[in-house]
Amino acid sequence: MIKMNILLTSVGRRGYLVQYFKEALNGDGKVFVSNSDAHSPAFKYADEHVVSPLIYDEGYIDFLLDYCKKNNVEMLISLFDIDLYVLAKNKERFDEIGVTVVVSDADFIKVCNDKWLTYQYLSKRNISTPKTYLDLESVENDISNKLISFPLIVKPRWGMGSLEIFTADNLEELNIFYKKIKRNIENSYLKYESKQDLDNCVIIQQKIKGFEYGVDIIDNLNGNYQNTVIRKKIGMRAGETDAAEIVKNNEILDLAKKLAKHSKHIGNLDMDILSDGKKYYILEMNARFGGGYPFSHLAGVNLPLALIQWKKGLEVNQDILNAEIGVIGQKDLVINKVGNNK
């Protein structure tokens, strides 16, 4: 077998993905991981780990390039939104040293990371998405004209992990939450992304009441569509899916295929979709392994193995990209001992 070393960046708490890639390599290579936090829980699962500079540090890309050279890394995969854009802009530098960065083009990453651009991107392609506003005046005018009604969602334009998301039930709450989020952004890590436009760093969004789905749209390394996996969320906590069922849904499948024709993304595109019983709305897109991927993996999907095989130029058996309908998964809490201060 051809050996291959892989680097997972911004690995954080995603120890399960480290294990998936190690299992896929089956001893024919190593899984290296990096993160700027020296106490990242996923470090313990990797063959080797390294503490990297912060993503916004000038030396971040040079550090990764040097690390890849020293460790004969052939494929690099990031697990964090902010990291994706930086890597996408420097993809050619990695290509020059023989490292395949599994990342979509920078323009599409920018669309995914910016919820206002996401709304514009989907709307222009006639793909349903919740009505979204960038300023209070516009939404207040539409409320007065009965074009939209409460409750409304107020959240950061550039955000992740369900941080600073509020539901406003009236104009007073809308104004309070809008100002509160703007203030809190300046005192959190969200300020780095939001500095692109601090005056317009909060969005107001139509609230869709109904069922929520998680979707993995899988493309190969050339951006060619391969498959879609649909999960009905049956348990949520702090924005994370605690339990989900793999389902068949032709309307969501058609929506996913339509989007894939436009996106030409690389690898996985993780999406959140809402249904009000009449229509399906794309809420968010993440051009990476999402928090719901373990449910797809549990049901038989093996995207890490497919990525490795595509990189090696091997034919991928479609079976490893198919999920078994009806499988229900539930996340469990695991506490690991990481040290002793005695």
- Residue 200's contacts (CB-CB under 8 Å, 6 or more residues apart) are 116, 134, 135, 157
Contact criterion met (CB below 8 Å) for 6 and 73 = yes
Same domain, 189 and 237: no
pLDDT for the residue numbered 198 = 79
pLDDT for the residue numbered 196 = 78
What domain range includes position 178? 131-206
Same domain, 272 and 196: no
- The CATH number covering residue 33 comes to 3.40.50.20
CA-wise closest residue to 185 among 166, 202, 167, 204: 202
Residues 219/213/140/161 CA torsion (nearest 10 deg) = -70
Give first-to-last CA distance, the chain, whole Å.
45
Residue 302 belongs to some domain of the structure: yes
Q: Last residue of some domain: 147, 178, 206?
A: 206
* Count of structural domains, the chain: 3
CA distance 45 to 334: 14
Joined together, the tokens standing for residue 302 give: 């093996």
pLDDT for the residue numbered 342 = 64
Same domain, 190 and 136: yes
Same domain, 157 and 95: no
- 59-103 tens-digit pLDDT: 999 999 999 999 999 999 999 999 999 999 999 999 999 999 999
Q: In which element (H, E) is residue 327 found?
A: none
Q: In which element (H, E) is residue 154 found?
A: strand 152-156
Query: Where do the H-state alpha helices sit in the chain?
Result: 15-25, 60-70, 81-89, 91-95, 106-113, 115-124, 136-144, 171-185, 191-194, 250-263, 293-298, 303-311
DSSP states of 34-88 as a string? EES-TT-GGGGGSSEEEEPPPTTSTTHHHHHHHHHHHTTEEEEEE-SHHHHHHHH
CA distance 45 to 68: 19
- The CATH number covering residue 257 comes to 3.30.470.20
Distance set, CA 272 to CA 9, 68, 211, 234, 283 (Å): 23, 33, 11, 13, 5
- The CATH number covering residue 174 comes to 3.30.1490
Same domain, 305 and 323: yes
Quick check: helix, strand or coil at residue 339? coil
Residue 109 belongs to some domain of the structure: no
- Which amino acid appears at position 114 of this protein? D
Q: pLDDT tens for the chain, 342 residues: list them.
A: 568 999 999 999 999 999 999 999 999 999 999 999 999 999 999 999 999 999 999 999 999 999 999 999 999 999 999 999 999 999 999 999 999 999 999 999 999 999 999 999 999 999 999 999 999 999 999 999 999 999 999 999 997 766 789 999 999 999 999 999 988 887 766 766 777 787 899 999 999 999 999 999 999 999 999 999 999 999 766 567 889 999 999 999 999 999 999 999 999 999 999 999 999 999 999 999 999 999 999 999 999 999 999 999 999 999 999 999 999 999 886 666 666 666
Residue 231 belongs to some domain of the structure: yes
Strands 5-9 vs 31-35: parallel, antiparallel or unpaired:
parallel
Same domain, 225 and 195: no
Same domain, 46 and 155: no
Residue 156 belongs to some domain of the structure: yes
- Other CB atoms within 10 Å distance of the CB of residue 103: 26
